[in-house]
């Protein structure tokens, strides 16, 4: 409880009454005009002082309050009281409570001059983070983003968008039914008919063109032995072009009443009952009659000959792999020898056959076993 006794004023160092002479200035030492003696300032005394309120514990995280100019608010507790300013105990207690209340207000860090209340603009006209409701500004200081980093981010984003678009287009092309196979065009067939190839490729209809490849087409055409290789070309939106390369027959192999067309590898391509319609030499018995090695040596020689020479041959035989002989339809004999230098031998033989025949000295034998020194007799 505060004391009810009022303080009294008594001049210090003088026995005169308080009202004699000039008043003594508070806090300063002055002289009276009558005695010119030193007079000490008055002292306020009280028999009983008001108990000071115990200060509340201060939060170390809190900071002193600042005034609108950005400076800490003045703390009245740090200024000594002057004589005559104490007032009544109730006033002292009120001032003490006001000081304690001011100490409780936290500091607020300001990066810009405080704007007027309920204003979101600074002196320059830009917003300082305060909203229309008078809320405190956002005290985060934003630095501008480096230009190089911004450009790099934009480039990466553009590349990602472009990659996504390309991937979407590829997926649409690969799986879109708009590009499904509807028409198959076949070219390069002689032994086979185009309809046979189209029938073999029937499973590809409805498959998107980007999913069709040469390996898949070759797998479907494998049962057709006449086809040596194949290539494909897609023509959007729905056409598949197939280019076929067939095996070339080089001889006829007599098997019973029919003749089989074989290539240089001995693959049976087709059969015919009339060998006169096929201008190829005949190999009697084939590989089963003359042996596999002799048959392959004979077909290798026939495969090196041009079509104009093959058309003039009647049959081919081989006593050994080094003694291959050919017969022309005119009855002339061609001694070929082994299969070495067969391309050169074929060119020499073609040149000899183009020489006009001499009725006085007819040629019965063409020996090209040594192609650089051919012999005719």
Task: Residue 370: name the closest of 331, 338, 328, 329 by CA.
Answer: 338
For the chain, what percent of residues have pLDDT higher than 70? 64
Q: Above 80 in pLDDT, residue 376?
A: yes
Confidence of residue 87 (pLDDT cuts 50, 70, 90): low
Confidence of residue 274 (pLDDT cuts 50, 70, 90): confident
Same domain, 242 and 274: no
Q: If 0-12 CB within 10 Å is exposed, 13-18 middle and 19+ buried, where does residue 181 land?
A: buried
Same domain, 233 and 271: no
- What is the per-residue pLDDT for 44? 47
Chain centroid to CA 117: 53
- What is the per-residue pLDDT for 289? 57
Q: Above 90 in pLDDT, residue 273?
A: no
Choose from 60-69, 167-176, 193-202, 262-271 the range with maximum mean pLDDT: 193-202
* Residue 45 falls inside a structural domain: yes
> 192 is in which domain, residue-wise?
179-246
* Residue 93 falls inside a structural domain: yes
Same domain, 203 and 262: no
Same domain, 257 and 370: yes
Write the CATH number for 352: 3.40.50
Q: Which two tokens stand for residue 147?
A: 């230009």
Rounded Cα distance, 51 and 3, in Å: 8
How high does pLDDT run on average in the chain? 75
Please write the tens of the pLDDT for every residue from 50-80: 454 555 555 555 555 555 544 454 444 445 5
DSSP 238: T
Rounded mean pLDDT, 232-253? 91
Rounded mean pLDDT, 325-333? 91
Same domain, 282 and 260: yes
Rounded mean pLDDT, 92-108? 72
Choose from 142-146, 221-225, 257-261, 359-363 the range with maximum mean pLDDT: 221-225
- What is the per-residue pLDDT for 36? 45
Same domain, 229 and 285: no
Total residue count of the chain as it appears in this document: 377
Angle between helices 292-304 and 342-353 (to 10 degrees): 60
Same domain, 302 and 368: yes
Task: Residue 253: name the closest of 227, 271, 277, 279 by CA.
Answer: 271
Rounded Cα distance, 34 and 106, in Å: 55
Q: Which residues, in sequence order, are bridge partners of residue 227?
A: 246
- What is the per-residue pLDDT for 297? 87
Same domain, 226 and 259: no
Q: Above 80 in pLDDT, residue 309?
A: yes
Number of domains forming the structure of the chain: 3
- Last residue in a domain, options 221, 246, 271: 246
Same domain, 92 and 54: yes
Same domain, 47 and 69: yes
Rounded Cα distance, 289 and 120, in Å: 110
Q: Above 80 in pLDDT, residue 351?
A: yes
Write the CATH number for 230: 3.10.20.310
Query: What is this structure's pTM?
Result: 0.52
Under DSSP, is residue 258 helix (H, G, I), strand (E, B) or coil? strand
Q: Cis link prior to 237 (omega < 30° from 0)?
A: yes
Residue scoring higher pLDDT (102 or 10): 102
Rounded Cα distance, 351 and 68, in Å: 116
Residue scoring higher pLDDT (238 or 98): 238
Confidence of residue 257 (pLDDT cuts 50, 70, 90): confident
Q: Comparing 123-132, 216-225, 228-237, 270-279, which segment has the lowest mean pLDDT?
A: 123-132
């Amino acid at each position: 409880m505060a004391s009810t006794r009022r303080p009294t004023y008594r001049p210090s160092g003088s026995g005169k009454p308080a009202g004699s002479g000039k008043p003594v200035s508070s806090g300063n030492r002055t002289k009276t005009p009558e005695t010119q003696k030193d007079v000490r300032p008055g002292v306020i005394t009280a028999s009983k002082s008001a108990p000071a309120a115990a200060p509340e514990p201060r939060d170390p995280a809190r900071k002193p309050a600042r005034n609108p100019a950005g400076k800490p608010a003045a703390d009245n507790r740090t200024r000594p009281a002057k004589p005559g300013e104490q007032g009544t105990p109730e006033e002292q207690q009120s001032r003490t409570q006001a000081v304690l209340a001011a100490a409780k207000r936290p500091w607020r860090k300001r990066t810009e001059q405080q704007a007027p209340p309920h204003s979101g603009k600074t002196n320059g006209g830009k917003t300082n983070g305060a909203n229309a409701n008078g809320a405190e500004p956002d005290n985060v200081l934003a630095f501008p983003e480096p230009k190089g980093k911004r450009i790099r981010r934009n480039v990466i984003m553009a590349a990602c968008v472009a990659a996504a678009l390309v991937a979407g287009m590829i997926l649409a092309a690969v799986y879109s039914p708009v590009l499904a196979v509807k028409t198959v065009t076949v070219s390069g067939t002689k032994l086979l008919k185009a309809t046979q190839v189209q029938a073999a490729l029937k499973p590809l209809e409805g498959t998107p063109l980007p999913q069709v490849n040469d390996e898949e087409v070759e797998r479907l055409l494998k049962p057709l032995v006449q086809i040596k290789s194949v290539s494909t070309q897609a023509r959007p939106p729905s056409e598949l072009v197939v280019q076929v390369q067939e095996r070339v027959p080089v001889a006829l192999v007599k098997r019973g009443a029919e003749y089989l067309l074989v290539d240089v590898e001995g693959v049976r391509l087709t059969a015919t009952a009339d060998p006169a319609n096929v201008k190829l030499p005949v190999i009697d018995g084939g590989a089963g009659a003359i042996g596999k090695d002799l048959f392959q040596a004979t077909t290798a020689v026939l495969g090196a000959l041009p079509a104009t020479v093959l058309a003039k041959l009647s049959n081919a035989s081989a006593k050994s792999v080094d003694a291959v002989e050919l017969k022309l339809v005119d009855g002339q004999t061609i001694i070929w020898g082994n299969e070495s230098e067969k391309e050169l031998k074929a060119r020499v033989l073609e040149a000899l056959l183009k020489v006009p025949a001499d009725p006085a000295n007819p040629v019965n034998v063409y020996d090209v076993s040594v192609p650089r020194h051919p012999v005719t007799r």
